[in-house]
Structure 1
Amino acid sequence: MTDPEDYPLLRSQSALLAQALRLVSRDGYRYWQVQTTPTEKVLAAVKKLDEKHAVLIAPKARAIRKEARLPVAHLLLAPVSVMPPEDPPPTWPMLLLATQELPGERMQRAEDRPLTWVAWREGEWRPTYVLRRDQRGRWTWFLEPSFHRALLEEALAYAAEGDWRALVGHMKALGNLPMFSGVWSQVQEIRRRVQKLWGDRHLRDPSGQWKAPPWRKAVEAWPKAPLSPIGMRLYPEEPPRTLGEWWAMHRKGGGA
């Protein structure tokens, strides 16, 4: 693959996080950089990165470069499914991963500064997910600390106010996060804190047993176990499957 239009798009945010997790933890891509490009220039940006760092080479060529101890780079674009609703979206985030520092780039080493990925929140791309080791030394994704704290504080505020409709909606939304083990542990912490606060104020009978919290069904709909990148489908089965397909659909729809 040498044409940016052939670049395969990932199907979801979870797919991107899973691919990045594999590349960092299994394949040794420990250097990272997040950058954005104007969406109308995304093809040119991918081409430029390929000219500089060979991000579009075939897997066999990657293996040869790695065996020769040359820098090997990998490029991940934010999935179309998480782009903002504007048409076209204003900018497109890109995650550049490498086995060594790349010349001309301001790369970070994941062991020294955890890889931080973005999501479209509050009208802009904001740091949202952090890839680091857990207490057992395993690489996994966590929510960015300030984002995690905001989600916790919002849940506790609804519980303290007894605003169960807002709490149900909030807890349902939490269930849609990419539940890798780090995120899973943080979301479960929010659930425990909400249960304690809500239960102590509203829903325990004199014996200390739970009555039926109105948000229980929201929690029951959460995934039953942490998300594993093993066996996850990474690429969409329907268009747009490549950057070229997206560009063609976008232009046909009246975009730039």
Structure 2
Amino acid sequence: MTDPEDYPLLRGQTALLAQALRLVSRDGYTWWQVQTAPVEKVLAAVKKLDEKHAVLIGPKARAIRKEARLPVAHLLLAPVSVMPPEDPPPTWPMLLLATQELPGERMQRVEDRPLTWVAWRKEAWRATYVLKPDQRGRWTWFLTKEFHRALLEEALAYAAEGDWRALVGHMKALGNLPMFSGVWSQVQEIRRRVQKLWGDRHLRDPSGQWKAPPWRKAVEAWPKAPLSPIGMRLYPEEPPRTLGEWWEAHRKGGGG
């Protein structure tokens, strides 16, 4: 593959995080850089990165370069499904991973600075997920401290106010996060904190029995266990499956 239009798009944010986790923890892509390109210039940006670092080569060519101890680079584009609703969207985030530091780039080692990925929040691309070892030394994704704290504070505020409708909606939304083991542990902490606060103030009836909180069904709908990147489907079956398919649809839709 040498044409940017043939670049395969990932099916969603969870797929991108799973792919990055595999590349870092299993394949030795321990250098990283996050950058953005104007959406209208994304094809040119991918082509330029390929000219500089061969990000579009196939698996066999990657293996040959790795065996020759040459830098091997991988490019991951933010999935179409997480792009902001503007038409056209403002910028397209890209994650550049490599087995060695790439010349001319501001690469960082995951051991020195954990890999941080973005999501579209509050009308901007903001750091949202961080890849780092857990307490057992296994690589996994966490929510950034800032985002985790914001989600916790919002949940506690609803619980303290007794605003169960808002709390149910908030807890349902938490269940849609990419539940890798780090995120899973953080979301479970939010649940425990909410349970304690809500229970202390709202759950006891005059008989001293505990009532079921109205948001319990929201929590029951959460995944029952953390996600594993092994065997996860990474690519969509329906268009747009490649950058070229997206670009063609984008142009026909009047965005280009």
User: Could you state the TM-score of these two structures normalised by the residue count of structure 2?
Assistant: 0.99
Q: Displacement, 1:88?
A: 1.1
Q: Any idea what SS the aligned residue of 1:57 has?
A: coil
Q: Any idea what SS the aligned residue of 2:250 has?
A: helix
Residue 102 in structure 1 maps to residue 135 in structure 2: no
Poorly superposed stretches of 4+, deviation over 6 Å: none
Q: Displacement, 1:205?
A: 4.3
Q: Any idea what SS the aligned residue of 2:208 has?
A: coil
Q: Measured at CA, do residues 208 and 14 of structure 1 come closer, stay the same or move farther in structure 2, by a change above 3 Å?
A: farther
Q: Distance in 2 between matches of 1:207 and 1:157?
A: 27
- Return 5+ residue gaps in structure 2 as ranges: none
- Which digits, 9 at most, give the CA deviation of each residue in 1:220-245, with x for residues without a partner? 00000001101100000000000000
- 1:25 corresponds in structure 2 to 25
Q: Distance in 1 between matches of 2:209 and 2:142?
A: 32
Q: Distance in 1 between matches of 2:65 and 2:108?
A: 21
Q: Any idea what SS the aligned residue of 2:50 has?
A: helix
Q: Any idea what SS the aligned residue of 2:135 has?
A: coil
Q: Distance in 1 between matches of 2:228 and 2:148?
A: 21
Q: Measured at CA, do residues 17 and 208 of structure 1 come closer, stay the same or move farther in structure 2, by a change above 3 Å?
A: farther
Q: Any idea what SS the aligned residue of 2:69 has?
A: coil
Q: Distance in 2 between matches of 1:73 and 1:205?
A: 60
Q: Distance in 2 between matches of 1:22 and 1:204?
A: 46
Task: Please show how residues 96-245 of structure 1 align to structure 2 within 5 Å.
Answer: 96-205=96-205, 209-245=209-245
- Which digits, 9 at most, give the CA deviation of each residue in 1:30-80, with x for residues without a partner? 000000000000000000000000000010000000000000000000000
Q: Displacement, 1:209?
A: 4.8
Q: Any idea what SS the aligned residue of 1:10 has?
A: coil
Q: Measured at CA, do residues 206 and 29 of structure 1 come closer, stay the same or move farther in structure 2, by a change above 3 Å?
A: farther
Q: Displacement, 1:139?
A: 0.1
Q: Displacement, 1:131?
A: 0.1
Q: Identity over aligned residues, as a percent?
A: 92
- Which digits, 9 at most, give the CA deviation of each residue in 1:193-234, with x for residues without a partner? 000000001103477653110000000000000011011000
Q: Distance in 2 between matches of 1:73 and 1:207?
A: 64
Q: Displacement, 1:255?
A: 1.2
Q: Distance in 2 between matches of 1:91 and 1:28?
A: 28
- Aligned Cα RMSD in Å? 0.9
Decide which moves more: 204-213 or 81-90: 204-213
Q: Any idea what SS the aligned residue of 1:37 has?
A: strand
- Return 5+ residue gaps in structure 1 as ranges: none
- Which digits, 9 at most, give the CA deviation of each residue in 1:109-134, with x for residues without a partner? 00110000000000000000000000
Q: Distance in 1 between matches of 2:190 and 2:156?
A: 8
Q: Distance in 2 between matches of 1:116 and 1:178?
A: 14
Aligned pair count reads 256
